Amino acid sequence: MELYFLGTGAGMPSKERNVTSIALTLYDERGTMWLFDCGEGTQHQMLRSPLKASRLEFLFITHLHGDHIYGLPGLLTSRSNQGGTTPVTLFGPAGLEQLLEPVLRYSQAHLSYELIYRETKEGTVFEDDQFEVVCAKLDHRIDSFGYRIVEKDKPGKLDAAKLKALGVPPGPLFGRIKRGETVTLPDGTVVDGRSCIGEPIPGKVVTVLGDTRRCEAAVRLSRGADAVVHEATFDSSLASLAEAYYHSTAKDAALSAKEAGAKRLILTHISSRYHEDEAAKLLLEAQEHFPRTAIAKDHASFPISASAE
């Protein structure tokens, strides 16, 4: 599991930062990629990355401002041209389907795969035996959502030494025991599989927040997360501007991560007023309040570890 940043700028792109798009690669977990927001130029950024649009499974839109959605038509149609055939589920606020479908229709776009729309509402928006995705509304000028991606705990490891001591022969019985079944050995010994499995391996938690002022929902979604992606459009000297435009400062992001007990904070959505060397002040400001902070750059990747760093 890894976060890969395709775009880390705020409303206006710059020479150093494209507008927002973030990939969560789940190649080991399910062989797919999930994308959070799709600002203009996302498909170009993907061409310069190791990511493949054909592996896109879910696309989560935080809100309908242009710097988060204007790349959708291009990416979705290019996915067809690049051989993508598996369905894509598009999660987003009310109005997303009404906005996107006319563009695809009037441009006579042909998708070689099914596009499924799911309107985002607070609560669980997706769940299967591997993951649960929970969302909540943040504090922005329009409806803006944050997403909490929770990987479910994995079964513990087999206690190989115990199995050997019990005389369990390698082979199919190992699989049954790993599933927690009770098996009878050829000599009549009964083995309770549950007693031969270690503690469950905790799943990872990743939080990706849309544009927002500091708010309780952001803290709730970030509680105990292994990684939190939080906007940091301004530094605290422009706190009044951040408040007026419903954005966060780097300090706001750090205080939210600290209150949530998160393990790592990654800053993104950086205003174009901060050139690369000036963006360092945002990082330093956040680290004063939450030391385990990094600032994302376009094409930066962050492996997700379930242990605190």
pLDDT tens digit sequence for 107-131: 999 899 999 999 999 999 999 999 9
| Residue 269 annotated in ligand binding | yes
pLDDT in tens, 80-116: 988 899 999 999 999 999 999 999 999 999 899 999 9
Q: What is the pLDDT of residue 141?
A: 95
| CA angle, 271 then 273 then 278, to 5° | 95
| Residue 299 annotated in ligand binding | no
State the chain's maximal CA–CA distance in angstroms. Answer: 76
pLDDT in tens, 28-64: 999 999 999 999 999 999 999 999 999 999 999 999 9
Domain boundary among 196, 221, 255: 196
Alpha-carbon gap, residue 174 to 159, rounded angstroms: 10
How far is the CA of 182 from the CAs of 174, 175, 177, 225, in angstroms?
11, 11, 7, 36
Domain identity same for 134 and 177: no
| Residue 65 annotated in ligand binding | yes
Domain boundary among 143, 171, 196: 196
Q: Which domain holds residue 121?
A: 2-154+200-303
Domain identity same for 170 and 250: no
Domain identity same for 84 and 23: yes
| Residue 252 annotated in ligand binding | no
Catalytic site positions: 67
Q: Is 237 inside any structural domain?
A: yes
| Residue 37 annotated in ligand binding | no
Domain identity same for 256 and 288: yes
